[in-house]
Amino acid sequence: MNLWKRGFLEIVSEILSSVLYSPLKKSGIVAKCNLDPRACSKYLSVMQSLDLITKLKDDSSFSITKKGTDFVQKYGKLVGIIEKDLEKLNSSN
pTM, full prediction: 0.85
C-alpha distances (whole Å) from 38 to each of 7, 30, 48, 62, 86 are 16, 9, 15, 16, 33
Query: Do the Cβ atoms of 40 and 50 come closer than 8 Å?
Result: no
What is the Cα–Cα distance from 64 to 80, expressed in whole angstroms?
A: 22
CATH code for the structural domain at 8-92 = 1.10.10.10
Q: What is the CA angle 31-37-41, rounded to 5?
A: 115
CA–CA gap between residue 7 and residue 71 (Å, rounded):
15
Q: Give me the pLDDT at residue 1, please.
A: 45
pLDDT for the residue numbered 43: 97
- Map out the domains of the chain as residue ranges: 8-92
pLDDT of residue 5: 77
pLDDT along the chain (93 residues), means of 10: 76 97 96 96 97 92 97 94 81 72
